[in-house]
């Protein structure tokens, strides 16, 4: 059983560009959350998707947007990239209403903005 799959694993973009990151949740999971992890820090919650809608949002600007598809997979889009957006982007899936041990994290996408 595959866990959470994220693509691509690494990405280099130029300031001002746009980027799309992808996540396939663990089988049986219907809720997807995205986190940003800057180097040397803990992950920070970006937003969560369930039933193709954004249900919760962290303190991130509107440049960060997302989407969830009927098969529960999800995309994270970041527009007008800034150098400070360089980070590891983590996707976590869970069954609705479960946290803690219900969360499964992917290995992340390392985004570098130059």
Partner 1 sequence: GESVGLHLPTLSVQEGDNSIINCAYSNSASDYFIWYKQESGKGPQFIIDIRSNMDKRQGQRVTVLLNKTVKHLSLQIAATQPGDSAVYFCAENKGKAAGNKLTFGGGTRVLVKP
Residues lying near partner 1 in the complex (CB under 8 A) are found at 4, 31, 33, 35, 37, 39-45, 48, 50, 55-56, 58, 88, 90, 92, 94, 97-103, 105-108, 110
The residue length of the chain stands at 114
User: Taking phi first (over 0 means left), then psi (-120 to 50 degrees means alpha), and beta for anything else, what does residue 25 get?
Assistant: beta
Closer residue to partner 1, CB minimum distance, 70 or 100: 100
Other C-beta atoms closer than 10 Å to the C-beta of 54 total 13
CB of 81 to partner 1, least distance (A): 20
Query: What DSSP designation does 25 have?
Result: P
CB of 65 to partner 1, least distance (A): 17
CB of 79 to partner 1, least distance (A): 23
Structure tokens at 29: 């999971």
């Amino acid at each position: 059983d595959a866990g959470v799959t994220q693509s691509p694993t690494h990405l280099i973009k130029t300031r001002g560009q746009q980027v799309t990151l992808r996540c396939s949740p663990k089988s049986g999971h219907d809720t997807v959350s995205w986190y940003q992890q800057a180097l040397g820090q803990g992950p920070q919650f970006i937003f969560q998707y369930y039933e193709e809608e954004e249900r919760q949002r962290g303190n991130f600007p509107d440049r960060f947007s997302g989407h969830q598809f009927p098969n529960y997979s999800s995309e994270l889009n970041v527009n007008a990239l800034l150098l400070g957006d360089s980070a590891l982007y983590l996707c976590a899936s869970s069954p609705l209403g479960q946290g803690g041990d219900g969360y499964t994290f992917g290995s992340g996408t390392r985004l570098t903005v130059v």
